[in-house]
């Protein structure tokens, strides 16, 4: 069992202020596999104080951006050497299939560190523009102390969407991992210390909701960067709004994959299996609404059903596993509740349903619903599990209408033999990311975020770095 009794604050391992602990439970075995301290509001106060001291008086914000990029580059090298270990720990704590952990959970955060390290070497901190009365210098400065609050589904990925650009910008950070997945953050803390990041620049305190809200509302925090549910995002946004505190919110999704009539279904299924079921369906970008024309509807239902039925369900540590368990019993019960709701509303489960595939572990049968209309709950609400709905459309305009008929606007895709036709549809669907014959895999160099209830702001790319900068205009005469 992985056990820690300290918190990472001020560049050191310190004793928590309380005695409560967080038990990390394997979603596969339902046994305790780790234990860490449960951070308290007092621990958050200490972490913010350390970050505040490091920002107000430490060297980090005063270093040049290329100097900070060099340190982040050292962190990237250490991270590269520990990818396999990180993948194993994430699979252990939250049930992600090890193949997905090795493909995405560990490599993608590394890619972000490498990207922002390179960007920081050339990014213009100042530029001069002609003004009405003379030249004006536009200067970019770090926003300050950042509270990074991250979910359990892709813990290192989401940490790095915030940490990497914040570090390059010159910010200091307090990270609050989710209580379900605190173990990987301890490995990160070890690397941060070894890389020579100055004390207090990064602080990590795993905790629950009460301590998290205390962190959000803390007057010493200048910006909150949150990824999680839309409901929690609304609460965080309200607190930040009251305080005029900067915030970025990456929230939920209910993305649609539009399958056009000229699509080669056999060729598309391999990509769609990732786009729809990645991480056991626990992905905000998952394409859980499959839109098929009425003329090919039955054919698409069959192809999707065969693809889902072919997924191996079982031990997430087995490289052959396609679908592992959900993160917690409450998540298992939540997803089963949606399956029940789909049946009650008249949709037909052609694969899966309410029979659990395993007696032990928080497993749900991967499920495909046919006969779904876009007004059903399973088509409107984010399920966050391996449940897909196949929805019919009449023509391309109807497909775009259905795709846009959602409270969310995070991702989506179109599948067609005509790429230019696909690009036309991509421009009409109101989402922050989109893929033509692929799923947009959140390239570190391009902005990621959503429209509508999917959030506020963008992460990754130069736009993601800009989210951690304040802009100052300095005019001068002479």
How distant, in Å, are the alpha carbons of 232, 347, 464, 466, 468 from that of 171?
Answer: 24, 49, 13, 12, 7
Cα–Cα nearest to 181, from 328, 36, 24: 24
- Which DSSP string corresponds to 42-58? HHHHHHHHHHHHHHHHS
CB-based contact 33:93 (threshold 8 Å): yes
Determine the Cα–Cα distance for residues 287 and 275; give it in Å rounded to an integer.
6
Question: 25 forms bridges with which residues in the sheet?
Answer: 32
Question: 289 forms bridges with which residues in the sheet?
Answer: 256, 389
- CB within 8 Å of 103: residues ≥ 6 apart: none
Tell me the CB-side half-sphere exposure of residue 425, using CA atoms within 13 A: 29
Give the three-class secondary structure for 235: helix
Active site residue 247: no
Dihedral, CA of residue 292, residue 296, residue 297 and residue 298, to nearest 10:
-150
300: buried, middle or exposed (CB in 10 Å: 19+, 13-18, 0-12)?
Answer: buried
Of 240, 247, 263, 284, the active-site residue reads: 284
Give the three-class secondary structure for 218: coil
Cα–Cα nearest to 318, from 354, 374, 358, 286: 358
Could you tell me the two tokens for 261?
A: 């009539």
* N-term to C-term CA, the chain: 67
Q: Which residue has the tokens 């409901």?
A: 231
CA 419 to chain centre: 28
Determine the Cα–Cα distance for residues 283 and 457; give it in Å rounded to an integer.
19
In the β-sheet with 135-142, what is the strand arrangement from edge to edge? 126-130, 135-142, 469-475
Of 250, 382, 396, 459, the active-site residue reads: 250
Q: Could you tell me where the beta strands, DSSP code E, fall in 47-105? A: none
Active site residue 284: yes
Q: Which residues are catalytic?
A: 250, 284
């Amino acid at each position: 069992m992985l056990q820690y009794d300290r918190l990472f604050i001020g560049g050191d391992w310190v004793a928590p202020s309380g005695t409560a602990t967080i038990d990390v439970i394997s979603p596969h075995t339902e046994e305790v596999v780790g234990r860490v301290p449960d951070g308290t509001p007092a621990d958050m106060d200490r972490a913010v104080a350390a970050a505040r001291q490091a920002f107000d008086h430490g060297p980090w914000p005063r270093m040049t951006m290329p100097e900070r990029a060099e340190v982040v580059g050292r962190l990237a090298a250490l991270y590269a050497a520990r990818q396999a270990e990180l993948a194993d720990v994430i699979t252990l704590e939250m049930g992600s299939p090890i193949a997905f952990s090795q493909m995405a959970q560990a490599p993608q955060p590394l890619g972000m560190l490498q990207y922002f390290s390179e960007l920081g070497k050339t990014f213009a901190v100042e530029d001069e523009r002609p003004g009405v009365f003379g030249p004006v210098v536009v200067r970019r400065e770090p926003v300050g102390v950042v509270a990074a609050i991250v979910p359990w589904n892709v813990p290192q990925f989401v940490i790095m969407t915030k940490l990497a650009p914040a570090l390059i910008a010159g910010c200091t950070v307090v990270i609050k991992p989710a209580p379900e997945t605190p173990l990987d953050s301890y490995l990160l803390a070890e690397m941060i210390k070894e890389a020579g990041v100055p004390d207090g620049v990064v602080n990590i305190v795993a905790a629950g909701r009460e301590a998290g809200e205390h962190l959000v509302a803390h007057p010493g925090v200048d910006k909150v960067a949150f990824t999680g549910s839309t409901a929690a995002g609304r609460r965080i946004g309200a607190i930040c709004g009251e305080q005029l505190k900067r915030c970025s919110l990456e929230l939920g999704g209910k993305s649609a994959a539009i399958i056009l009539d000229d699509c080669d279904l056999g060729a598309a299924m391999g990509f769609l299996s990732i786009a729809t079921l990645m991480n056991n369906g626990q992905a905000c970008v998952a394409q859980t609404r499959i839109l098929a024309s009425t003329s090919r509807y039955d054919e698409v239902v069959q192809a999707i059903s065969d693809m889902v039925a072919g997924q191996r369900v079982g031990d997430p540590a087995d490289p052959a596993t396609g679908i592992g368990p959900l993160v917690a019993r409450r998540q298992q019960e939540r997803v089963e509740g949606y399956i029940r709701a789909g049946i009650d509303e008249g949709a037909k489960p052609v694969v899966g349903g309410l029979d659990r595939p395993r007696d032990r572990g928080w497993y749900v049968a991967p499920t495909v619903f046919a006969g779904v209309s876009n007004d059903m709950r399973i088509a409107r609400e984010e399920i966050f599990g391996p449940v897909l709905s196949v929805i019919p459309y009449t023509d391309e305009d109807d497909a775009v209408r259905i795709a846009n008929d959602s409270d969310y606007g995070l991702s989506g895709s179109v599948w067609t033999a005509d790429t230019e036709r696909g690009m036309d549809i991509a421009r009409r669907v109101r989402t922050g990311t989109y893929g033509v014959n692929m799923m947009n895999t959140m390239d570190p160099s391009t902005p990621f975020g959503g429209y509508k209830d999917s959030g506020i702001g963008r992460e990754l790319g130069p736009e993601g770095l800009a989210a951690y900068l304040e802009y100052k205009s300095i005019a001068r005469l002479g």
